[in-house]
Amino acid sequence: MSTSKANNEVVENRRQNEQMLDEMSRLNNELVNLQRQLAIKNARLEQLNEQKNQLLGIATHELRNPIASIVSGCRLIERGQMSEDKLKSTIKEIYKVSDKMLHLVDNLLDVSKIETGQLSLEKTSTDITEILTHVVEFHRLFARRKDIELKLKFSGTIPKLDIDVSKIEQVLNNLISNAIKFSPKGTEVRVLAEPGKDEFVLKVEDQGPGIPEQEQGKLFKPFSRISNRPTEGESSSGLGLSIAKNIIEAHKGRIWVENMPETGSRFVLALPVK
Amino acid sequence: MNNIEVLESLKEPLAAVAVEQTYRLDPTLMVRYGASGRDKCLQDTFCHIQNLIQALRYSSPLLFTEYVSWFAYLLVNQNIPVQDLHTNLAALGSALKEQVPDLEESVFSKYLQPAVQIINKPLADVDSFIDDSQPHAMLCREYLAALLEGNHKQARQMVLEAVKSGTSVRDIYLYIFQNSQWEVGRLWQQKKITVGQEHFCTAATQSIMSQLYPYTFSGVQRLGKRLVAICVGDELHELGLRMLSDFLEMDGWDTYYLGANVPLESILKAISEPPADVLAISTTMTIHLPFTQMIIDRVHDESFSTGARILVGGYAFNIDPMLWQKVGADGYAVNSAVAVDEARRLVGLAPV
Ligand code: B12
Ligand SMILES: Nc1ncnc2c1ncn2[C@@H]1O[C@H](COP(=O)(O)OP(=O)(O)OP(=O)(O)O)[C@@H](O)[C@H]1O
Ligand SMILES: [Mg+2]
């Protein structure tokens, strides 16, 4: 009787012991989990900080030249010894440079929003044919200046898409302006809209230099301008495609580039159809 | 009610009747193990029934035979004759016949009898998990030896030095952490180490993993994909899932590691705000499968469609390689290295 009682006590002690060990293991799991969260947060912050510095570096570098040219323009005007024509063209130049700066600052703001995860979409069911027509019309003027023929073609009936209109417009603007900007005079830019089975596909094709194979990897990353430069001194911050990629992926779509068989590039984007 | 539901509702009385019969079949049990032995027998029998139910639910005899051979091995290493388990299973068989008369014959022919056959044969020793044909076997052996001596600092030093001299964190995870943990399990089962040592090794490895985090997480290109990782119910085995999450984090996923004991509502919240691309569920103990099933059913429920794909894995899923399909998961991987490509497949990304 007493041995069995002692035996029971031993068993009970062991049970308590094991319970205690399991409880410690639970606590330890929690602790390590917190450690993990901290480590990840830390790594993210470091990455963000690095990007911020990069951003700052680029911003100051890119903004310095236009500001300098505005300042010198203002100085000329201040002296007041200009002909009417010269005055007009200086002011025009100041506008142009300011526009470039505005464009850069807008892009930087977009990138910083994306980096901090603040890119939010306001989706509405939209007829993309209207938007496309509108965007292409807008670029026709720039195209004409470079004697580039801008064509828009729809095949089949285009379904309505669930998209954030202003964000998608931004993407289309960038793709079309790129095609015009990096192509030489007298070429052709084609915008083709094709309904797929569960995707809407849009292609922007040009007859410019194309994207060298070895540079395709960094094309969609922020701050990585590649070797192609605008042919007529248009503005280029090297951020448009990285912003576009983020916007398209936030729509659960895809964007990529192909080289055309002869010359030129084809940017393709695919958006899911509800 | 189908028979599985009947069994589920009769678990406790069934275990009691089976134990009654066990002791009737072999009266020396009482003499040999006393009253506390009988309590233990009741717990164990209950566990057999739980495992049997899971095996039946997924038409997977493997789940049950694997469990029984694991259990037999455990007994033998505690110097308890296999014959006693034999008696116990025979008693369970007749208790089942008696309490659930219209149970299908296949329960006996496909589940109980094969299990009994396995323990009739001499039990093969489980081979060591530290195998010279694998990379870093030496380091793994030394690492484990240090931990078993309670020398956490030395073990940590070894790992940090290996990483500094160029061994990848992935290799350390797979060949040092995973293999040493599996070996700990084998040694514990053979009663060569204590439960305390088992806990110590795990805690030490978890802590050393954390110290590698500066190497693990820095400078990774983000993929913009989100993965939420959970263990089910009261699962204490978290290391495997942590490893899996770290592998995916290293691949550029944003991982959100929730661990165990998370209420269903919190899980659903975690995968919807912001929407997760993948929900990873780790299940070690076979008897935790009902929780896994409940979560999968809920996440796949039409009314709750976040679009999250479900990836499962862990010891239980490694026993029966078809099990992941039977629970209705979208993907499965045998270890964290394979899991990276499987997770990528689920979200339509090319493998690495
Ligand atoms: C350490 C350990 C414990 C620790 C756990 C502490 C902790 N914080 O994790 C403690 C001591 C608490 C413990 C308790 C128990 N344990 Co224990 N434990 C182990 C042991 C030795 C190692 C587990 C481990 O760390 N493995 C290392 C990791 C890296 O491997 P892994 O888990 O298999 O994970 C890999 C893959 O499976 C996969 N994977 C894992 N999850 C996921 C998820 C997804 C989505 C994917 C794709 C892949 C994937 O990738 C991982 C990395 O490559 C194992 C032995 C073994 N062979 O695993 C036993 C083991 C798991 N335990 C077992 C048992 C029975 C128990 C206890 C019931 C009894 C006991 N031993 O005291 C309790 C139950 C506790 C509970 N409620 O959960 C059995 C389980 C048998 C079964 N399936 O039924 C095992 C197998 C031991 C054995 N051979 O007897 N245990
Ligand atoms: N259609 C194209 N043909 C040739 N090169 C291109 C084309 N589109 C883009 N590129 C190259 O890729 C780079 C990145 O394009 P991206 O749109 O991101 O920046 P950007 O046009 O230079 O500046 P931003 O769009 O910010 O004004 C460009 O600088 C250019 O070198
Ligand atoms: Mg651009």
Do B276 and B303 belong to one domain? yes
Residue nearest to atom 7 of ligand 2 (CA): A178
What pLDDT does A233 receive? 78
Do B70 and B141 belong to one domain? no
A28 and B206 within 8 Å at the Cβ level: the answer is yes
Closest to B161 measured CA to CA, from B92, B117, B211, B106: B211
Q: Residue B172 domain-assigned? A: yes
A25 and B202 within 8 Å at the Cβ level: the answer is yes
Do B207 and B228 belong to one domain? no
Q: Looking at chain A, which residue has its C-alpha nearest residue B225?
A: A249
Give CA–CA dist B311/B328, Å, rounded: 10
Q: Are B18 and B117 in contact (CB under 8 A)?
A: no
How does DSSP assign B167-236, residue by residue? --HHHIIIIIIIHHHHHHHHHHHTTSS-HHHHHHHHHHHHHHHHHTHHHHHTTPPP---EEEEEE-TT--
B36 and A32 within 8 Å at the Cβ level: the answer is no
Which of A4, A22, A42 lies at the smallest CB-CB distance from B236? Answer: A22
| Residues of A in Cβ contact (< 8 Å) with B246 | 36
Q: Residue B132 domain-assigned? A: no
B257 and A18 within 8 Å at the Cβ level: the answer is no
Do B226 and B326 belong to one domain? yes
Atom of ligand 1 nearest to the CA of B343: 47
What pLDDT does A6 receive? 67
Q: Residue B351 domain-assigned? A: no
CATH of the domain at B191: 1.10.1240.10
Q: Residue B125 domain-assigned? A: no
The domain boundary, picked from B214, B231, B252, lies at: B214
Q: Which residues line ligand 2 (CB under 6 A)?
A: A 107, 174, 178-179, 182, 206, 208-209, 211, 219, 225-226, 228, 235-242, 265
Do B27 and B79 belong to one domain? yes
Q: How far is B338 from chain A (nearest CA, A)?
A: 22
How many CA atoms are closer than 13 Å to the CA of B1, on its beta-carbon side?
A: 11
CATH of the domain at B293: 3.40.50.280
Mean pLDDT over all residues of chain A? 88
Closest to A237 measured CA to CA, from A247, A227, A254, A225: A225
pLDDT, one tens digit for every residue, chain B (352 residues):
788 999 999 999 999 999 999 999 999 999 999 888 999 999 999 999 999 999 999 999 999 999 999 999 889 888 899 999 999 999 999 999 999 988 888 889 999 999 999 888 877 778 899 999 999 999 999 999 999 999 999 999 999 999 999 999 999 999 999 999 999 999 998 889 998 999 999 999 999 999 999 888 877 777 888 999 999 988 999 999 999 999 999 999 999 999 888 888 899 999 988 889 999 999 999 999 999 999 999 998 866 777 899 999 999 999 999 999 999 999 999 999 999 999 999 998 888 8
Do B11 and B31 belong to one domain? yes
| Residues of A in Cβ contact (< 8 Å) with B203 | 24-25, 28
pTM over 0.95: no
Task: State if residue A37 touches ligand 1 by the CB under 6 angstroms criterion.
Answer: no
Q: Residue B270 domain-assigned? A: yes
* Enclosing domain of residue B294: 221-346
What pLDDT does B262 receive? 87
Which of A11, A33, A36 lies at the smallest CB-CB distance from B213? Answer: A36
Do B15 and B61 belong to one domain? yes
Do B189 and B240 belong to one domain? no
Atom of ligand 1 nearest to the CA of B235: 78
Q: Are B230 and B260 in contact (CB under 8 A)?
A: yes
Q: Residue B352 domain-assigned? A: no
CATH of the domain at B99: 1.10.490
Do B181 and B206 belong to one domain? yes
The domain boundary, picked from B160, B181, B214, lies at: B214
Give CA–CA dist A174/A135, Å, rounded: 10
Do B197 and B158 belong to one domain? yes
Establish if A8 touches chain B: CB-CB under 8 angstroms: yes
| Residues of B in Cβ contact (< 8 Å) with A246 | 224
Do B151 and B238 belong to one domain? no
The domain boundary, picked from B196, B214, B232, lies at: B214
Number of H helices, E strands in chain A: 5, 7
Strands A265-272 and B226-231: unpaired
Do B22 and B113 belong to one domain? yes
What pLDDT does A1 receive? 43
Please count the structural domains in chain B.
3
Q: Residue B126 domain-assigned? A: no
Q: How far is the CA of A15 from the centre of ligand 3 (A)?
A: 68
Q: How far is B114 from chain A (nearest CA, A)?
A: 32
